[in-house]
């Protein structure tokens, strides 16, 4: 049976990728490796945990010996690498865990793949999942294309850029079969409520302030997480060896207009008078080094591999709100403990 390692499968995007692969490919064994940091939550995968082609392994990609032994034991045919520290604000507070996981962890996986595939790398694939933040920040016009020069500006994006470079170096130097994708902002079910959309849904439900950084004029390009998972499936199976693909929704919103739309949907869903949630908006000090605008051109992926996003943002956002409202227990479970401490530090003392 073919075996694929998915790292970070208990996180937001990873759990959607694991679910898709486990259900769509019953003849492929999916091994989900995750350290279960604050962002990893096995509740995300309750519906697939008993499938015969699924296995969970708890482990840290920073532990090189452990990774090597795991690869020797399983002899993976493919790797889809999502495990990462992923929140920009946390990278500003504590860059070192980003350097460890995002750079050292990625190199450990590359070394292990290089070793087990050294005699036969045919039909093997190391797929590194990255972000559009590696390209830096755009002005009012233009888009990120695959050839855009890297210009990362936060410890998070710099750590992801560094890992992208190292993945490409292993391809050029050691012929490791790799593919990379750089995606824009994802939204959808199971996103940890430190990121804009789930944080604001949770705060509206609990009548807490909505902390808008700076003037709220920064622009992000939003993509529904299941569309990202489908793109990953397409790129993993059809992407060209050594290539990079940009993934995005052609769906740009300023933060403040997105927040207004979200408030409107929440008022409707919670049977509150229209305009109620907007009153919670509170402008706070801007994020240090806050990138102004991201926008992805995904023409290459659409033309060469035939992928396209399936949902309009308004529909996807409403679907996302419905999920959070129906999964109050999930939200309560993740907003306790460690997260609460971070919340105090990030917002209450701001
Ligand atoms: P997430 O923070 O929700 O999940 C990360 C997962 O990685 C968690 O399950 C965590 O436990 C695990 N992990 C962290 N450190 C680990 C370690 N040392 N060893 C093993 N597992 C570890 O992240 P996400 O938002 O799902 O992002 C997944 C990937 O996609 C990341 O590589 C991120 O850079 C990239 N990405 C995210 C977005 C987005 O909008 N969220 C957009 C583009 C790219
Ligand atoms: O572009 C892809 C990236 O998108 C991914 O690589 C990252 O992993 C992911 O976290 C995301 O990064 P952002 O920094 O864009 O996402 P975040 O949800 O943190 O913030 C979105 C925008 O909202 C950003 O301009 C900052 C702003 N913001 C965020 C928070 C959490 C606020 O105004 N207030 C907030 O409380």
Query: Can you give the pLDDT at residue 3?
Result: 98
Enumerate domains of the chain plus CATH numbers.
Answer: 2-185+224-247 (3.40.50.720)
How much of the chain, in percent, has pLDDT values that exceed 90? 92
- Joined together, the tokens standing for residue 210 give 């909505």
In tens, the pLDDT along 84-122 reads 999 999 999 999 999 999 999 999 999 999 999 999 999
Residue 133 bears catalytic tag: yes
Please state, in angstroms and rounded to a whole number, the distance separating the CA atoms of residues 200 and 263. 9
* Angle of the 225-238 helix axis to the 12-24 helix axis, nearest 10: 60
Tokens of 339: 């997260």
The minimum-distance atom of ligand 2 relative to the CA of 160 is 6
Distance in angstroms (rounded) separating the CA atoms of residues 97 and 279: 36
CB 125 within 8 A of CB 78: yes
Alpha-carbon distance of 338 to 200, in angstroms, equals 19
Residue 199 CB neighbour total at 10 angstroms? 20
Whole-number pLDDT of residue 339: 41
Q: Is 132 a catalytic residue?
A: yes
Q: Is the dihedral of CA 275, 279, 284, 287 positive or negative?
A: negative
pLDDT tens digits, 206-231: 999 999 999 999 999 999 999 999 99
Ligand 2 pocket: which residues have CB below 6 Å?
86-88, 131-133, 184-185, 195-196, 199, 211-213, 218, 220, 255, 287, 294
Rg of the chain (C-alpha set): 20
- Reference 15, options 42, 35, 37; nearest CA is 42
By most ligand atoms within 8 Å of CB, the mutation choice from 83, 90, 316 for ligand 1 is 83
pLDDT value for 281: 98
Spatial separation of the C-alpha atoms in residues 305 and 19, rounded to whole Å: 22
Q: State the catalytic residue, choosing from 132, 221, 252, 291.
A: 132
Q: Which atom of ligand 1 is nearest to the CA of 14?
A: 26
- CA of residue 9 to ligand 1 center, whole Å: 8
Pairing of the two strands 2-7 and 28-34: parallel
The ranges of the chain with pLDDT < 50 are 339-340, 343
Atom 44 of ligand 1: nearest residue by CA position: 131
Å from CA of 8 to ligand 1 middle: 6
Q: Which numbered atom of ligand 1 lies nearest the CA of 34?
A: 21
Tell me, what's the pLDDT at 344?
60
328 is known as an active-site residue: no
């Amino acid at each position: 049976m073919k075996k694929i390692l998915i790292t970070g499968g208990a996180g937001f995007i990873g759990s959607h990728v694991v679910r898709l692969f486990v259900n769509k490919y019953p003849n492929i064994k999916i091994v989900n490796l995750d350290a279960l940091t604050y962002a990893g939550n096995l509740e995300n995968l309750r519906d697939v945990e008993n499938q015969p082609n699924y296995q969970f392994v708890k482990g840290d990609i920073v532990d090189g010996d452990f990774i090597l032994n795991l690869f020797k034991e399983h002899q993976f045919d493919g790797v889809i690498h999502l495990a990462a520290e992923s929140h920009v604000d946390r990278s500003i507070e504590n860059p070192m865990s980003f350097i460890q996981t995002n750079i050292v962890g990625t190199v450990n996986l590359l070394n292990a793949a290089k070793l087990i595939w050294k005699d036969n790398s045919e039909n093997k694939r190391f797929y590194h999942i990255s972000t559009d933040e590696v390209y830096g920040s755009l002005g009012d016009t233009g888009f990120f294309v695959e050839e855009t020069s890297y210009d990362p500006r936060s410890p998070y994006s710099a750590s992801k850029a560094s890992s992208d470079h190292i993945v490409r170096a292993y391809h050029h130097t050691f012929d490791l079969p790799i593919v990379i994708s750089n995606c824009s902002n994802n939204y959808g079910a199971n996103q940890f409520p430190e990121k804009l959309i789930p944080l604001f849904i949770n705060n509206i439900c609990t009548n807490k302030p909505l902390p808008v950084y700076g003037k709220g004029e920064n622009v992000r390009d939003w993509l529904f997480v299941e569309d990202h998972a489908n793109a990953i499936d397409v790129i993993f199976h059809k992407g060209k060896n050594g290539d990079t693909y940009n993934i995005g929704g052609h769906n740009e919103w300023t933060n403040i207009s997105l927040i207004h739309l979200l408030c409107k949907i929440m008022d409707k869903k919670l049977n509150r008078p229209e305009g109620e949630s907007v009153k919670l908006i509170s402008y706070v000090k801007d994020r240090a080094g806050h990138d102004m605008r991201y926008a992805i051109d995904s023409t290459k992926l659409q033309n060469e591999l035939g992928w396209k996003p399936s949902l309009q943002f308004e529909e996807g956002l409403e679907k996302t709100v419905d999920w959070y409202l129906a999964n109050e227990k999930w939200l309560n479970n993740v907003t306790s403990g460690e997260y609460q401490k971070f919340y105090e530090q990030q917002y209450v003392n701001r």
